[in-house]
């Protein structure tokens, strides 16, 4: 089971339309700059994580910031796309649960939105739009892959092109195996 999951993560489809790059640029760019903002502005990093009651807020904020910067860069490049999609899916679910439940209840430790609706169902629907868009985009990339214009696709093309050459080189340079020797004797 673990091997199947690893194989699925390691081999995303790379034959999708070139336009998938637009989704990677959107999601990767947002994760990348949001990670930088967590280091630049305390209210986006440690301060926010402290208000939300996250465990070990300084470590957690820095960890998430590094994940977003490195992972955003990976999405932008289309490299290890499925591998980075998994932690981003988890991050977006945690972000929605940790900030929107208290907004719904009217007990959010974070500042309320500047204009109505500020609490309740409609406020949550309005304020969740960014996390929801990021979640849906990384889910799409996890399922459909990074598209043709990606490092994942480039590496797949190179390994596929080198495959037959390696096989021929292996056959000509290695001594025949027992079964190959028997086949030659039968012919």
Find the distance separating the first CA and the last CA of the chain, reported in whole Å.
Answer: 43
* Residue 41 maps to a domain: yes
130 and 175 housed in the same domain? no
Question: Where is pLDDT greater, at 46 or 187?
Answer: 46
* Residue 7 maps to a domain: no
58 and 143 housed in the same domain? yes
Which has the closest alpha carbon to 75: 35, 32, 136? 32
178 and 162 housed in the same domain? yes
What confidence category does residue 1 fall into, taking pLDDT thresholds of 50, 70 and 90?
confident
Task: Please state, in angstroms and rounded to a whole number, the distance separating the CA atoms of residues 102 and 120.
Answer: 9
* Residue 3 maps to a domain: no
155 and 78 housed in the same domain? no
* Residue 8 maps to a domain: no
168 and 142 housed in the same domain? no
Residue written as token pair 């929107």: 100
DSSP string, 6-20: HHHHH-----S-TTH
pLDDT digits (tens, 9 = 90+) for 8-38: 999 999 999 999 999 999 999 999 999 999 9
pLDDT digits (tens, 9 = 90+) for 55-112: 999 999 999 999 999 999 999 999 999 999 999 999 999 999 999 999 999 999 999 8
* Residue 12 maps to a domain: no
What confidence category does residue 178 fall into, taking pLDDT thresholds of 50, 70 and 90?
low
* Residue 67 maps to a domain: yes
For residue 157, the enclosing domain spans 150-187
Task: Please state, in angstroms and rounded to a whole number, the distance separating the CA atoms of residues 138 and 61.
Answer: 21
Asked if 75 and 27 count as a contact pair (C-beta separation under 8 A), the reply is yes
97 and 85 housed in the same domain? yes
**Cβ-based burial of 173 (10 A; exposed 0-12, middle 13-18, buried ≥19):** exposed
Domain tally for the chain? 2
Q: How many CA atoms within 13 Å lie on the side-chain side of 48? A: 19
Single pTM value for the model: 0.82
64 and 141 housed in the same domain? yes
26 and 102 housed in the same domain? yes
- Write out the two tokens for 126: 């309005």
Taking CA atoms, 69 is separated from 30, 46, 164, in Å, by: 9, 16, 38
Asked if 148 and 15 count as a contact pair (C-beta separation under 8 A), the reply is yes
138 and 156 housed in the same domain? no
105 and 135 housed in the same domain? yes
57 and 95 housed in the same domain? yes
100 and 184 housed in the same domain? no
């Amino acid at each position: 089971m673990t091997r199947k999951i690893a194989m699925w993560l390691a081999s995303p489809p790379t034959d999708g339309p070139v336009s998938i790059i637009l989704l990677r640029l959107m999601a990767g760019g947002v994760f990348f700059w949001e990670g930088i903002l967590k280091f630049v502005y305390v209210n986006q990093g440690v301060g926010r994580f402290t208000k939300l009651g996250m465990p070990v807020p300084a470590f957690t904020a820095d960890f998430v910031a590094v994940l977003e910067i490195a992972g955003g860069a990976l999405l932008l490049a289309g490299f290890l796309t499925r591998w980075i999609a998994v932690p981003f899916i988890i991050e977006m679910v945690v972000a929605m649960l940790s900030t929107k439940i208290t907004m719904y209840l009217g007990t959010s430790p974070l500042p309320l939105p500047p204009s109505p609706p500020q609490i309740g169902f409609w406020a949550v629907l309005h304020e969740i739009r960014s996390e929801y868009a990021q979640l849906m985009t990384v889910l799409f990339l996890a399922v459909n892959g990074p598209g043709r214009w990606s490092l994942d696709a480039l590496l797949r093309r190179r390994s596929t092109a080198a495959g037959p050459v390696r096989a021929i080189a292996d056959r000509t340079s290695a001594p025949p195996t027992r079964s190959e020797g028997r086949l030659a004797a039968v012919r």
